[in-house]
Structure 1
Amino acid sequence: MNQTEILAYYSRPEVIKGLLDIARDREVVGAYRDGRYSKRPDVLQYPSDIAAKVRTGIVSWHCSVEHWHSPMALSTSLSRAELDAARKGFDIIFDIDSKSEFNYARTAAIVVCNFLADMGVKPTIKFSGRRGFHVAIASKALPASIDYKPSAARYPEIPQAIAGFLKVKIEDELMDALIAEAGGMAALTKGASISEITPWNFLDIESNWGARHLFRAPYSLHEKTWLVSLPLRLFKLKKFKPEDARPGATGGPFLVNKPEEATELLVSALDWSAKHKPQEKNIERSMQKGAPIPEEHFPPCIRLLRNGISDGRKRSLFTLVSFLRAANWPWEKIDIAVNEWNNKNPKGPLPNRFISTQLAWHKRQARNLLPANCDNDTFYRSIGICQPTELCARIKNPAAFTRLSCTKAAKQKINNKSIK
């Protein structure tokens, strides 16, 4: 599409209404043809805002999952406590993306929607515009507080817990559904040798949100397909095809829920999450003090990442910095390591300003953050750095690998001395 056609699309009354409805109390950021975002923070308030920004080259729109008291007051310098105070609430958006066949994402979306319905939640859904779907639960579906703490202040804990809980609960059913969709296991794997078959070999459900996380706005165009990120009625999902989302298609409701209908889901997810955190607490305790851990004790994924990567540079920057902090590296060494890594990336380095902003954000955190868990395909398997060893089978987080590796080396050293 050329810019005249894009402007004509965004001038449609139903598109303007869809964008302005979702924009209320949110950051809304435009993106250019090459995927770059315009300045943040930004908002959409009036129809004229849309046209004016499209004339500057904007082709798509992305909005925050978080609702804010004053979106334009946001900045990268805000602390965690300041962000919590500024946040009014947040939606739950399950971003389902197929790694190959579109049908697999559609199958996953059906399984996710059925699971949520069984938990008493009626989700809404939209096509992402390319190879996936966004299954959504509106902020009002969550209780105002849980365990005597406002739900709005428990971001990203709540969406991460719900996503983790959902992925575990649907895994077996989703695997069966994917095999049926493909026409058998051989057709699904296409003859490839995969040591451990899981649904996450074939698709992702994002589960690692960060502050000010964005998702593609309903009725936004997708800059790679020029299809619409179209809200769908659930009964149309089973037969939906990407070409059904050409500009001009009619959409359904999005982010519409009854008050507190996700309470049972949230309580179940938090209970599940509480039972699966012991290893992370042990890791945090072990990394509070100690000498920097040498690279020889790093897991394979981090070693591969440090050699440079083609895809996922921004999320890999988070992985690298959080891992090195967990390994007790001082900031001087982390700064050097990050810049060395950035210059090795085959598609070119990330902008220096982006790097410095991310490092500054990490330095402001009250505690060290862990990298994403090993089962988060978005951070490891999908970018080709997950090559597990025998030791990897005993951990849930890359930061735990260093502790086990150091312990193993220490025991070996003692054994060698006793032999002498």
Structure 2
Amino acid sequence: MREKIWNWYSRESVQKALLEVSRNREVVPVFQNSFGKRPDILQFPADIMQNVAEGAISFHGSLERWKNPMELKPGMTKEQMDEIRIGWDVLIDPDVNDFEIAKIVTKEIIEVFKDHGVKSYFVKYSGGKSFHIAIPFEALPEKINFQDSNKLYPEILQKLIEYVKWYCKDKVREELLALDSPINISKRVGKNLEEIVSEEGLEPFKVVSMDVFGLRHLFRLPYSLHEKTLLVSLPIKPERIDKFEKEEALPENVKVSEKFLETKVKMHDAEALIIEALDWAARHKVETKLIVEEVTPIRKKIKKIPEDFFPPCIKKIFNGLNDGRKRSTFILINFLRNMGWEFDDISKKLEDWNEKNFPKLRTNYLRTQIRWHMRQERNLLPPNCENENFYISIGVCEPDEFCDNRKIKNPINYPFKKLKLRRKGK
């Protein structure tokens, strides 16, 4: 699994797409059972790969766009967030455990947009059970009721979602009943019949959940993997919804091409939609909820990987060096950290290694380097294999057959691929 994840995020086209959509957003890595620390950002390809090296599977970004996402802090008031928010995007996330039903609802939401003259909308497969439908902030009016739009999140989005549900409710009900009977629909979505049927008949938005979002809401970024399915969260053309199959989102089948939340759109394209939604919300006295979505990160430690699985370059460094000792210190600390080694173990290993060096590095130098790395909030990657200033220049790059056959790009790939083969019994 780790090899598949690493290979996906190593693609330059994927890195470019992720960094483009991450601009001005809070971006949080998602691990197998937890989120990374907040706030965080992605600025460079190395940021992506560093997170992946630490075990990240997916990347989630904020609907809100910020002057500087790193200024966000726990416990901030809405007013404080309003001051640093520069925009927010419309995102609708129909959640249902049936792919055919998800397609029906997604298409009807798009019809709502079309009925209101909106052309600047985007669709992506979520990587899981459904789709995300979005409108970028640039398509919204600059001011709403004489107030700056960037300060009217999440109340405007919440009212818009309720309006969309009301507007397409009858049409969605009609489409669902054409698809199947209420009793079969209840079985398809895993709900009791009583949960999805009222005196009015089938309730489409009890079959499908369309939750409203709060402050600092995160969504899976386009071209991120889904943390459970390992499918790509894939932008698609709206006209392809009916024909789209999940297999198209397998990483090996994906070519990065379609955009999601492109900012170069017709300005104020969704103004009529927003005005209609707010008029409807006022007539129906729709109340909004002020929710702050903050996630407490729980980081899962990597189990310490033994030296038997290390690549030839690392083992050769361990034998002691005459030249390149300081560069090798940097390599070893970062490599061992990514192998799940604690700093006490790393310190002892470096001391043993230094005994084999000629001349030895000063003990104080090694301690200073370890202390510096201990202060870093995340593990750093060792340099890539192709970096001539390190392994090749030092004279430790002697790839074995496994390096060549597996196309190892960074020393940390080697142990993970070896372990994967062992688990498969090869």
TM class by shorter chain equals 0.5 to 0.7
Q: Which residue of 2 aligns with 1:38?
A: 36
| Offset from partner CA, 1:296-320 (integer Å, 9 cap, x none) | xxxxxxxxxxxxxxxxxx99xxxxx
Q: Which residue of 2 aligns with 1:227?
A: 231
| Offset from partner CA, 1:3-27 (integer Å, 9 cap, x none) | 2221111011121111001100000
Q: Which residue of 1 aligns with 2:135?
A: 137
Q: Which residue of 2 aligns with 1:253?
A: 259
AA aligned to 2:258 is G
Q: Which residue of 1 aligns with 2:5?
A: 6
Q: Which moved more, 1:192-201 or 1:161-170?
A: 192-201
Equivalent position SS for 2:231 = coil
Alignment of 1:51-130 (within 5 A): 51-98=49-96, 100-122=97-119, 123-130=121-128
Q: What's the offset of the Cα at 1:181?
A: 2.7
AA aligned to 1:4 is E
**Where in structure 2 are there 5+ consecutive unaligned residues?**
295-426
**RCO greater where, 1 or 2, for CA within 8 Å and sep 6 or more?**
2
Which of these two proteins has the greater Rg computed from alpha carbons? 2
Aligned equivalents of 1:186, 1:7: Cα separation in 2: 44
Q: What's the offset of the Cα at 1:185?
A: 4.1
| Offset from partner CA, 1:124-166 (integer Å, 9 cap, x none) | 1001111011000000000111111000011111101110100
The verdict on how the C-alpha distance between 1:47 and 1:185 changes in structure 2, with shifts beyond 3 A counting, is same
Alignment of 1:256-295 (within 5 A): 256=262, 257-277=265-285
Aligned equivalents of 1:236, 1:67: Cα separation in 2: 29
Q: Which residue of 1 aligns with 2:393?
A: none
Q: Which residue of 2 aligns with 1:15?
A: 14
AA aligned to 2:152 is R
The verdict on how the C-alpha distance between 1:57 and 1:262 changes in structure 2, with shifts beyond 3 A counting, is same
Q: What's the offset of the Cα at 1:225?
A: 0.9
Aligned equivalents of 2:168, 2:216: Cα separation in 1: 28
* Count of residue correspondences: 277
Q: What's the offset of the Cα at 1:88?
A: 0.1
**Where in structure 1 are there 5+ consecutive unaligned residues?**
282-313, 316-420
AA aligned to 1:101 is D
Q: Please, what TM-score do these two structures have when normalized by structure 1? A: 0.63
Equivalent position SS for 1:135 = strand
Alignment equivalent of 1:236, drawn from 236, 240, 252: 240
Q: Which residue of 2 aligns with 1:150?
A: 148
Q: What's the offset of the Cα at 1:205?
A: 1.6
Identity %: 38
Alignment equivalent of 1:218, drawn from 202, 217, 222: 222
Q: Which residue of 2 aligns with 1:418?
A: none
| Offset from partner CA, 1:152-190 (integer Å, 9 cap, x none) | 0111111011101000010000111112233x4453345
AA aligned to 1:21 is E
AA aligned to 1:227 is L
AA aligned to 1:7 is W
| Offset from partner CA, 1:218-250 (integer Å, 9 cap, x none) | 011112111000000112111111111110413
Q: What's the offset of the Cα at 1:193?
A: 3.9
AA aligned to 1:238 is D
Q: Which residue of 2 aligns with 1:198?
A: 203
- Across the aligned residues of Structure 1 and Structure 2, the Cα RMSD in angstroms comes to 1.9
Q: Which residue of 2 aligns with 1:329?
A: none
Paired residues of 1:107 and 1:181 also in contact (CA < 8 A): no
Paired residues of 2:182 and 2:193 also in contact (CA < 8 A): no
Aligned equivalents of 1:79, 1:224: Cα separation in 2: 33
AA aligned to 2:260 is F
